[in-house]
Amino acid sequence: MADDLSQVAHFLFEAGTLKNARRTGWWMAGVRDPESVAEHSWRTALIASVIAKLEGADPARAALLAVWHDTQETRTGDVNHLGKRYAAPGDPEAVTADQTRGMPEPLATAVRELVTEYEGKETPEAVCARDADKLECMLQGIEYRAQGHEHAQRWIDNSRTRLVTESGTRLADELLSQGPLDWLHAAMGEKG
């Protein structure tokens, strides 16, 4: 008999709530309708694959770690850094254990191992995925700053100083030297 997939189905619906969960720290920068956790996670996964490839790590593994890095926020919400001073967010590994309870064991084990690896910060792929998380925040801050949210500079600066990989640092410097629409001008053949 096939494994019962009812808990997997529950989790897939649960994961969909991240499309509506806002990254709350941006409210302090004056952003009224900030990106969702799902939007952040998508670009983080993309960036993780780029950093990992440049660092000689496994890009697919780094991207997979990044995909799962904020899935616990379906249950804890996105607690910003100020909020963490008063109410610590749930332990990601404990939340993941609850989220995966009742799933077919090979799947539950694989998901738990991904979250443990990301939180452990020891494998090259975890380091790249964590740098991608910081770099995505910096990149989003640059975009919000260009939209007139001058207070986003704090997130840009803090994210930049927390990068640890050479590739993440170099990429951050390149991003800081460009504007959010420079890619469009280049694609259209326009001179800057």
Residue 192 pLDDT: 60
Residue 1 pLDDT: 38
Between 9 and 79, the more confident residue is: 9
Helical segments of the chain, H only: 6-16, 37-55, 59-68, 73-76, 81-84, 92-100, 105-120, 124-146, 153-161, 166-176, 182-187
d(CA 155, CA 92): 23
Q: List domains and CATH numbers for the chain.
A: 6-15+29-187 (1.10.3210.10)
When pLDDT is averaged across residues 158-183 and rounded to a whole number, the result is: 97
Q: 85 pLDDT band (50/70/90 cuts)?
A: confident
Here the tokens at position 47 are 């960036």
- Cβ atoms of 135 and 165 within 8 Å: the answer is no
Residue 3 pLDDT: 72
Q: 111 pLDDT band (50/70/90 cuts)?
A: very high
β-strand partners of 68: none
Each residue's pLDDT tens digit, 119-170: 999 999 999 999 999 999 999 999 999 999 999 999 999 999 999 999 999 9
Each residue's pLDDT tens digit, 31-53: 999 999 999 999 999 999 999 99
